[in-house]
Structure 1
Amino acid sequence: MDLGALTRSLLRADPEIRDIVLFGSMAYAPELAHDVDVLITTRRKKDIEVYWDATADFPRDVDVLVREPGERVSDSIAASVCAWRAVLHGNGETFREASETMAVPTFEDVRAIFRNGDSMLALAQHETNAATADHGYRTAFGILFDVARNAAQAFLNTDNSRWGELRRALPRPLDQEFHALINTLHVQYSYDGHYPKDRADEEYQRWRVRVAKFVDDLEEGARAGVEEPGVDAAEPQP
């Protein structure tokens, strides 16, 4: 899909647009995405039909969310934008404002992220193109890491998602387990793509169970009133 053409069409429809941010599956797994999600920041919002008309002729469905500077978006949208995004136009102020207003995740929010990983796994399992399937598996492992990272944020009661700082703030042995999740899920499996390809489905389920236990342990610690140093809020790292 020509995202440049999409951007130009939106800018023609609303010349006051300041930011266009791509988020959702098109941002983290374009080969597997079925639709396109964009968040627009404009000086003055026009009728939503203006944006629908601007995207009507594109080969995939385009879901458009429009906001004005300073206008809050839902926590779920903010979390999605902060986790996976690409700035198609502007200076990224939409991302910065979303990260500043995003609430600290709850453990309920954290467990809901598992569904994203499971959905990505299912897409990868049924993909006939090997390269596209590989991208799907890597993304699924990356989402498992996102579950762990958000759980650490919930435990520490912080909206800072910088995993290095989160690890240093966690108590032992949770910091050691988070270190293992970073190295395996985030670096080795998702970023480098060095996961066991002959048993990827089994490996995903194995790590899913391990991440779920990590979440349970953090929630139990939070309920027990474990006092640990917080983490200063900062812009989430990509």
Structure 2
Amino acid sequence: MHGPNPLETLKILTGEQAIDAYKALSDEHRRQILHALRARRMSTSELVEFLSAQDPEKEVKPQTVRYHIKELEKCGLVEQDGYEPAGNGDSHIMQKLWRATAENVFITTGNMDGLPTRNGYDLDKTLDIVATMKNLGLQFESEDEIREIADAMTLRDRIYLTGLERAKESLKEACEIDPALYVVFRRILSVVRLNQTDYEEYWKSSRKITDGLREAYRRGEGKNPRVY
């Protein structure tokens, strides 16, 4: 067994590795594992104990932790760093030790088009979504009302997807950005970068959707929103 190697101060991920890292870190347990492995080397059994202590009501299985480690390893966030005897240290069975690859990780945005995006819906799908809202206590006066809201949702999403392409162009100019902030900025810029006509139409459609759904909610079984 050898001593721990020093961690890199900074690791920059790009391309497919950056996309894989973003997806891997969407899981809370993986974020907790990465945080723990920045502090010190740990075995799978130690990570099981660590995660179990975070939420005693949830069962954490070793095979689940091993899977999370492999997903983090695939995108370069953790790596194996030696072995140690299992149990109390007196076993002849050796277990792997894991550690984070760096103290800080930056994900570059130059090629992050593979990140999940909000998908637009066609009219039929949107009609299904609005109609399903009836089960949530919303009461619509007619099929025409449902169709009007569905049309507005379809238009708004189509405009949003136009702005999304422009947002990606803007974000490619940023060298380094936290993946969570990347998603936030992408959503904001998808609206901000619309031309004036589309910008006004986007908010007009949004207001039509929310006003329509609010009225349907007040008519239905749901408790009326308070007026402040």
TM (normalized to structure 2)? 0.29
TM (normalized to structure 1)? 0.28
Q: Which has the larger radius of gyration?
A: 2
